[in-house]
Structure 1
């Protein structure tokens, strides 16, 4: 039988990288909790809308917001509005605010920002998608299955646009100077 003391002895081998065994100094980020903060479902033309045969036009809007709750806790809000319309009127509107509490510790600020605006929404989206699908189904319509979203790609694209705008503003020719 192996000596059980060896396991604990090997945890701290004297290496500086392992010094302070148990110290909370490693970067960590994750979803602590998730919840529906607000859900509104409107079926303004029922029951007439159930007879409409025209293919509806779908308008789906997304917005991501984050706010700091404490030093290590932030709330990420994924807001989704889905509207179904035909020439006869609006069939339904679903407005969802789906949130997650995000815990982060020992992360550089740019990594925190990326986690809040790219990774956390990616994690939350499948749950928000299910809430919307169920809400549309419960309103009496065919469930709405939203396509996956590349939140990381959108985040990178927005960063590039912001940098291009800042560069253009910083490189504007001085009045009366050569362009």
Structure 2
């Protein structure tokens, strides 16, 4: 009896469907500052990675565009001189169905970037290697924590605006 009830409940909630339609580099910039300066020698790189996410509905039903924007800066630990700057806007187009409306925003900004992250990692590694540096292998990004931090930042910002009004 319990199995029949569980089966009926499973049939009532439609299965979430998601697949990647396409993915592409919208914008990519790599500036090898070290080579432009003409300096060399031993450097101790300090790499800073900033990640920004954006999602928007496309005109086709159930399609969403999710952009992952990276800004990576490598500086010499000793002199603080910039070694390289890499900026990339990487987009995935997703077909998403049966995600409840209240869960769609976190789904788009957590699950979708997680799906395309291995491709982003590979591009960053190739570009830094081709730019004359050791390949930069990005560590996994905790998209859940990134999402929570952004929600907290927006709530704080909204509270500050309310207090100033």
1:57 corresponding residue in structure 2: 46
**What is the total number of aligned residue pairs between the two structures?**
150
The aligned residue for residue 36 of structure 1 is: 25
Larger Rg: 1
User: Per the alignment, in what secondary structure is the counterpart of residue 43 of structure 2?
Assistant: coil
- For structure 1, the 5+ residue unaligned runs are 1-14, 19-24, 173-179
> Is the aligned partner of 1:141 residue 2:130?
no
* CA–CA separation in structure 2 for the residues paired with 1:167 and 1:40: 36
CA offset digits 1:78-120 (Å, max 9, x no partner): 0111111222732211111111001112321122212211011
Aligned to 2:4: none
In 1, distance between residues paired with 2:152 and 2:101?
A: 18
Which residue among 57, 68, 76 is the counterpart of 1:78?
Answer: 68
Q: Secondary structure at the match of 2:96?
A: strand
CA deviations over 1:44-67 (Å, ceiling 9, x no partner): 331634x23130221211100112
Equivalent residue number for residue 131 of structure 1? 123
Out of 62, 73, 90, which is 1:98 matched to?
Answer: 90
More helix per residue: 1 or 2? 2
Q: Report the secondary structure of 1:75's partner residue.
A: strand
Q: How does 1:3-14 map to 2 (within 5 A)?
A: none
Secondary structure of 2:34's counterpart equals coil
SS of the residue corresponding to residue 54 of structure 1 reads: coil
Q: Which runs of 5+ in 2 are unaligned?
A: 1-7
Give 1:156 deviation, angstroms.
3.6
